[in-house]
Structure 1
Amino acid sequence: MTVQRRRRIIKRQRSSVGLALVAAISFLAGMTDAMGFMTLGDFVSFMSGNTTRASVALLQGDVARGVLLIAGLITFVFGNAAGVMVSIKFGPRVVLLLVSAILACAALSAAESELQFLLLILAMGAINAAVEQIEGLPVGLTYVTGALSRFGRGLGRWVIGIRSAHWIIQVVPWLGMFAGAIMGAVLVREAGDLALWVPSLAALSLTTVAFRIPRRWQSRFIQDR
């Protein structure tokens, strides 16, 4: 086997593992977002939606809701920052462990809805640092507007004859989030507040799997320092 062929095989394997990880994390994000929306009435990963909802709330005089949503936007930014710092310092696998702990704290804070809301947002912000790219192609984990946009632009280029197929992977996070949101809605309907323990356990299970992925592979899933 030539060196070039071996490298191609490894690249395919690494890409497949990366896409599977993206799908699993997006599934977790969709499940958590659906649970947060059904339990608390607002999104915990869709910050574009919360920006609009905050604006409308303030315009309608619901200052408390508007301020809480703005606090959520700020928390999401800090979550992303914290995730990146943990990823750079300890590795992206540890980000998932951090997210598991934050989600557990959110499940424990069921009696304090505002705190629970902010903790869920913090977790969804941090988890974005677990995977930032697949072989140089950017991917989103807790939101799919960018993924759908990149998919659509890639489709447009393909139609006019630019035959790169890299854009097709953008459907993976959308499918993961869509399936996760369905699962989250079902769990809330069947288990109520107890359903919020499921994302924490799922994140912990995902952490266990992630620690089995070679460190040199995972280093390719985050942006260059």
Structure 2
Amino acid sequence: MTRARRRRIIRTRRTVTGVVLVGAISFLAGMTDATGLLLTGDFVSFMTGNTTRAALALSDGNLNHAAVLVSAILVFVLGNAAGIVISHVSQRRIFVMLGSVSLVLAIASMLTMRDMLMMRFYMIVFAMGMVNAAVEHIEGLPIGLTYVTGALSRFGRGIGRWIIGDRRLDWTIQIVPWGGMVLGAIAGAVLTRLVGAHALWLVSLFAMGLAFAAMLIPRPLQRRFNQKIAAHRSAIASGK
């Protein structure tokens, strides 16, 4: 076997592993998103929608709802930040990340008292922010796990480039998070309508199952799915 062929095989394995992982985590995100929306009435990952709804609430003079939505946006941002920190300090990044998401969702599922429902909403939003740090790219291609607008935009631009002569097909990977999100949302909606708030427990268990499945992914490969912080630091240092 030639060195070039061996490299192609390794690259293909990395890509397939990444695609399966992204599909599974996007499925989890879709389940959480649909369950959270049905239980709370507000988006738990669609921050563009929450931004627009917050603006509409402000224009209507509904300051309370606007404050809730703006707070959700801030919590989502903090969840993303926490996800990056956790993945950076963990050896088994994806396992620890998904395990943390599972724990947060499990705690949220226990907050069923009326005066704790707002806290439950924020914890679901926080979990949705965290999960974005599990996989940031596949072979250099940016991937979004809880928001598909960017993925669909990249997919559409890829079609446009193909029409004008660019025959690369790496952009087709962007349909994976959208497909996973749709299927997961269907599953989450069905579960929530069948068992109500208990659906959060099932979503939490699914997240933990994914976490243990991720243990099968070698640590060097897990690191390839995240941004290389050290490389950025080196670039900054060399620019001084």
Structure with higher Rg: it is 2
1:217 corresponds in structure 2 to 221
CA deviations on 1:145-191 (whole Å, 9 max, x unpaired) are 00000000000000111111010000000000000111111011111
Return structure 1 stretches of 4+ with deviation > 2 angstroms.
Answer: none
Q: In the alignment, which of 101, 104, 112 is matched to residue 102 of structure 1? A: 104
Q: Distance in 2 between matches of 1:66 and 1:110?
A: 23
Aligned partner letter, 1:105? I
Aligned pair partner of 2:183 in 153, 171, 179: 179
The unaligned stretches of length 5 or more in structure 2 are: 230-240
SS of the equivalent of 2:12 reads helix
Equivalent residue runs for 1:50-129 within 5 Å: 50-91=50-91, 92-93=93-94, 94-111=96-113, 112-129=116-133
After TM superposition, the score normalised by the length of structure 2 is 0.92
> In structure 2, how many angstroms separate the alpha carbons of the residues matched to 1:79 and 1:109?
19
Please report how far the alpha carbon of residue 109 of structure 1 lies from its aligned counterpart in structure 2 after TM superposition. 1.1
Residue by residue over 1:71-104, the C-alpha shift from the partner in whole angstroms, topping out at 9 and shown as x without a partner, is: 1000000000000001111142211111111111
Q: Which residue of 1 aligns with 2:14?
A: 14
Q: 1:195 corresponds to which residue?
A: 199
CA–CA distance in 2 between the matches of 1:209 and 1:103? 18
1:135 aligns with 2:139: yes
Equivalent residue for 1:153, pick from 138, 150, 157: 157
Whole-Å separation in 2 of the counterparts to 1:69 and 1:98:
24
Paired with 2:99 and 2:189, the residues of 1 have a C-alpha distance of 24
Alpha-carbon distance in 1 for matches of 2:57, 2:205: 34
Farther-moved stretch of structure 1 (145-154 vs 60-69): 60-69
Are 1:33 and 2:7 matched, yes or no? no
Identity across the alignment (%): 55
Q: TM (normalized to structure 1)?
A: 0.98
The AA in structure 1 aligned to 2:36 is: G
Counterpart Cα distance in 2 of 1:82 and 1:110: 25
Q: CA deviation at 1:110?
A: 2.3
Distance 1:214 1:75 in 2: 31
**How far does residue 216 in structure 1 lie from its aligned partner after superposition?**
0.7
Q: CA RMSD in A?
A: 0.8
| Cα shift at 1:3 | 2.0
